[in-house]
Chains A and B, each alone.
Chain A
């Protein structure tokens, strides 16, 4: 090693580093790319051995047939509707609480945030059946409220952490000025905290939206009617009449469609997502 000229060993090091980064990115993308390739292949190529890797010619038949067989547009709309309302509710409730928590003494604040951590760590299976009972009692089975309310609550800890750490950095004088001007606590949150810390609020909303979109256990349990299912619950019902005739092309198309909105979100807002998550994680 020591005999190598310096520039050569540096070049080798850089090449190794580049290869490692490329491998990491490839591993992260490969499963999703494979779904895309499968979705665009004609059936004859999907079941051709040895495997054909690139679709030749690319076809939209799976996407089209999927849309005929299953109300996929409805699934997507349901997911968007439920996630949007849950996000709105969650961020609004969390913003109010965060404004108060940010002004607590360090001791009670840390206790509270630790308590929230514990709550957020309860696995959903623990809550599933009582929530199901509650949804039934209220007549909310197949009603979007049965998902909106739990989604908002389950993401509350994360939203509170991120918002609280952002609100705490606002100068107390700002809040005080609003108070002197006769603004109520509610008005101060809406007119001072949220506008000033808007980037953090947007990040929080984005994260909560992603978590809601991805939720499966409650969705598949509470939404039994096809026209009520969210996209994660709907996909579980795409499979064919029996295990032996699973329409893999259509399934891959379904996977592709369900993940596309998230792909766009992540690529558009990656900086925000990474920053928000690391903040939430470090605080946790």
Chain B
């Protein structure tokens, strides 16, 4: 990939390649094959099959049958739309808030260590558990969200947040933004630490204002970090499960059902294993396509390679 780096890194040639050294990789390979490799092959196989429950699973080749069914399934398209909406909304908020937070926490001030720890906290708490907490915050009768918004006059009557399609989606997005913004903040903070002080000082000497420095120097240099954060977040948000399962269960009326939850219900509620597999495989293919396009686009426009 990168010739300069390849040459600069001490390679393995000096130590000799004994097979005994390679054995160190074996446990990792076995564990990864058992838990990731084989299951992926299996889920692809199931998605291309017709499965009947008859004592055990009876599996028959079905070609793209499940996928054709999927493309004609209105509920799949609604789930896909919900997932896309959830992903786009939460990522826009997270990237903006995450970058802002990182810029704040990058400056040195008294108590910065403590502030960083507290800001990272939401990320370290279990999503499933805190989603329950958010459901309570958005409770229609006794929720603190309604109370606060009524007090400051944004609302004039309480809202049944989780009982209406648009507000239920908004509540989920808020919970997700709270939970995952720290991840973006951390990645951007790491990126900021890689920008040398000299570059910033030179820019200041050239008479650039803070805003200009941010736009023309800091943000361009942050691009790799932003891309990493974006890719990770797209994939995680697109696979959102915990927050939906706990906060709305996909309701009301399927208006917040995500593709992961739809696959889950096909598996364990409708016992339609082949179809559930097709849902899961199709969503992964889609998100893989999106991220590949994103990475291609960004490496292309940088003009390297």
Contacts and interface: CB of A to CB of B under 8 A. Distances in A.
Interface string A158-186: 00100000001000100110010000111
11 contacts: A25-B118, A103-B12, A103-B15, A106-B5, A128-B263, A131-B35, A185-B23, A231-B129, A259-B125, A273-B124, A281-B183
B119 A153 contact: no
Interface in B24-42: 24-25, 27-28, 31-32, 34-36, 38-40, 42
Interface stretch (B61-69, B70-78, B213-221, B279-287): B279-287
Interface in B107-127: 107, 109, 113, 115-122, 124-127
A17 B104 contact: yes
Interface residues of A, number: 97
Contacts of A263: 121, 125
B182 interface: yes
Given A34-B133, A38-B136, A24 B119 contact: yes
Contacts of A93: 27-28, 31
A28 B182 contact: yes
Contact of A252 (B9, B12, B133): B133
A277 B263 CA distance: 31
Contact of A278 (B133, B186, B260): B186
Q: A126, A127, A254 — which one has the most chain B CB atoms within 10 A of its CB? A: A126
Contact of A31 (B13, B39, B133, B191): B133
A209 to B, nearest CB: 10
B43 A210 contact: no
A284 B101 contact: no
Contacts of A185: 18, 20-21, 23-24
B133 A255 contact: yes
Contacts of B129: 214, 231-232, 235, 254-255, 258-259
Nearest to B266: A129
Contacts of A210: 124
Contact of B120 (A89, A125, A220, A274): A274
A71 interface: no
A61 B214 CA distance: 52
A176 B101 contact: no
Report, as a range, how many residues of chain B touch the other chain: 35 or more
Contacts of A255: 129-130, 132-133
A17 B107 contact: yes
Interface string B71-112: 000000000000000000000000000000100110101000
Per DSSP, chain A at the interface is helix
Interface stretch (B165-173, B197-205, B231-239, B296-304): B231-239
Interface of B: 1-2, 5-6, 9-15, 18, 20-25, 27-28, 31-32, 34-36, 38-40, 42-43, 46, 57, 101, 104-105, 107, 109, 113, 115-122, 124-130, 132-134, 136-137, 139, 141-142, 144, 147, 178, 182-183, 186-187, 189-191, 193-194, 225, 228-229, 231-232, 235-236, 238-239, 241-242, 245-246, 260, 263-264, 267-268, 273, 276-277, 280-281, 283-284, 287, 291
B139 A94 contact: no
Given A17-B107, A34-B133, A152-B31, 4 more contacts: A28-B122, A31-B122, A127-B43, A214-B127
Per DSSP, chain B at the interface is helix
Contacts of B116: 270, 274
Q: B40, B124, B178, B283 — which one has the most chain A CB atoms within 10 A of its CB? A: B124
Interface in A72-97: 89, 92-94, 96-97
Contact of A47 (B21, B126, B142): B142
Interface in A201-258: 210, 213-214, 216-217, 220-221, 231-232, 235-236, 248, 251-252, 254-255, 258
Given A104-B12, A282-B194, A125 B117 contact: no
A281 B40 contact: no
Q: B31, B239, B283 — which one has the most chain A CB atoms within 10 A of its CB? A: B31
B141 to A, nearest CB: 8
A57 interface: no
Nearest to B33: A153
A123 B128 contact: no
Contacts of B147: 50-51
